[in-house]
Amino acid sequence: MGKRKRNERIGALIKILSHQPNTVFTLNYFSEAFEAAKSSISEDIVIAKKMLEELHLGTIETIAGAAGGVKYVPLVTPERAGFFLEKVCKKLEDPQRIMPGGFIYMTDIISSPSMVETMGEILASQFLNQEIDYVITMETKGIPIALMTAKALNVPLVIVRKNSKVTEGSTVSINYLSGSSNRIQTMSLSRRALKEGAKVLIVDDFMKAGGTAKGMMDLINEFKGEVQGIGVLIATREPEDKVVEHYTPLLYLEEVDVKNRRIIIAPNPKITTKI
Spell out, one character per residue from 135 to 164, where the chain touches its own copies: x when CB under 8 A holds, - when not: ----xxx-xx--xx-xx--x-xxxx-x---
- Of residues 204-263, which lie at the interface with its own copies (CB under 8 A)? none
Q: For residues 257 and 270, which CB has a smaller minimum distance to its own copies in the complex?
A: 257
Question: In the complex, what is the shortest distance from the CB of residue 13 to its own copies, in angstroms, rounded to a whole number?
Answer: 8
Q: How many CB atoms lie within 10 A of CB 136?
A: 30
Pairwise CA distance, residues 100 & 97, whole Å:
10
Question: Which one of 76, 119, 127, 190 is in contact with its own copies (CB under 8 A)?
Answer: 190
Question: In the complex, what is the shortest distance from the CB of residue 72 to its own copies, in angstroms, rounded to a whole number?
Answer: 9
Question: In the complex, what is the shortest distance from the CB of residue 7 to its own copies, in angstroms, rounded to a whole number?
Answer: 4
- Residue 270 one-letter amino acid: K
# binding residues, its own copies (CB under 8 A): 62
Q: Are 275 and 261 in contact (CB under 8 A)?
A: no
According to DSSP, the residues that pair with 25 across neighbouring strands are 70
Binding of residue 133 to its own copies (CB under 8 A): no
The window from 43-51, 207-215, 224-232, 265-273 that contacts its own copies (CB under 8 A) reads: 43-51
Question: In the complex, what is the shortest distance from the CB of residue 184 to its own copies, in angstroms, rounded to a whole number?
Answer: 18
Q: Strands of 90-207 (E only): list them.
A: 134-138, 157-160, 171-178, 183-190, 199-207
Q: For residues 6 and 261, which CB has a smaller minimum distance to its own copies in the complex?
A: 6
Q: Strands of the chain (E only): list them.
A: 59-63, 69-73, 134-138, 157-160, 171-178, 183-190, 199-207, 226-236, 248-257, 262-267
The window from 53-61, 80-88, 217-225, 259-267 that contacts its own copies (CB under 8 A) reads: 53-61
Pairwise CA distance, residues 266 & 90, whole Å:
9
Half-sphere exposure of 133 (CA within 13 A, CB side): 12
Pairwise CA distance, residues 57 & 238, whole Å:
35
Half-sphere exposure of 150 (CA within 13 A, CB side): 21
Question: In the complex, what is the shortest distance from the CB of residue 117 to its own copies, in angstroms, rounded to a whole number?
Answer: 7
- Of residues 70-99, which lie at the interface with its own copies (CB under 8 A)? 99
Task: Give the binding site for its own copies (CB under 8 A).
Answer: 1-2, 4, 6-8, 10-16, 18-20, 23, 47-48, 51-52, 54-55, 57-58, 99-101, 103-108, 111-114, 116-117, 139-141, 143-144, 147-148, 150-151, 154, 156-159, 161, 166-169, 190, 192-193
